[in-house]
Amino acid sequence: MVKVSNISISTIERLCKYHRILDDMIAQGITNAYSHELAAMAQVTPAQFRRDITSFGNFGNIAKGYDVTKLHQAIIDLLGTCNSKKVALIGLGNLGRTLLSYRGFAERGFEIALAFDKDNDKVGRVIAGRRCFHIDQLEEILPQYNVDMVILATTADGAQNLVNRLGKLGIRAILNFVPKHLVPLEGMFIEQVDISAKLEKLSYLLANG
């Protein structure tokens, strides 16, 4: 059902958006929807929506539009989150602890399995159900857990060094909350969450949009 082909990053990012919208529709008991309805909710053109969807399969029905449940499942399969993915968290400051208590991960198939910090006060404790280790133990402990990705929520100094250490441990995906541009090793992917950058973009749009 799910075609394998080259899907552009732009399309993948929109699929995440569609994912949320389909969640809502399922919660409302809606079983079918036309591309123009879904597109309006996602703020894209109907043609773009159809193009995005057909890039990995055919889920439309000419009479009834798209099968909401099937499409929802297909997107989950494509994004590879059908099986729960284990994540490690590094940094247990305000942000790190907020992330630990965030329920949104679980409902999307992500599980923070363990945490690291450099502060000895936090090491050895169990915070929000997760064991916390010292960052010096990274090389020793991390391989024992079957972790796919790492969330970085430390301070800026030493963050690049952590990326390098994680790369050597075989970690290929990092979600970076550190407000600093980090350079991935060969084969790694780093997604930056830069709140200030978003505000700057909004600032520009306010002045020039």
Residue 58 binds which one of DNA, a second copy, none, with CB within 5 to 8 A depending on kind?
Answer: DNA
CA atoms within 13 A on the CB side of 96: 24
**CA atoms of 32 and 12, how far apart (whole Å):** 22
Scanning residues 16 to 35, which ones bind a second copy (CB under 8 A)? 16-17, 19-21, 24
CA-to-CA distance for 158 and 138, rounded, in angstroms?
Answer: 14
Question: Residue 84: exposed, middle, or buried by beta-carbon count in 10 A (0-12, 13-18, 19+)?
Answer: middle
The interface mask with a second copy, positions 153-192, x = CB under 8 A, is: -------------------xxxx---xxx-x-----x-x-
Beta partners for residue 192, in sequence order: 176
Which residue, 58 or 161, is less far from DNA as judged by CB?
58
Rounded to a whole number of angstroms, the minimum distance from the CB of residue 48 to DNA is: 4
Per-position x/- string for 170-209, each x denoting binding to DNA as judged by CB under 7 A, each - no binding:
----------------------------------------
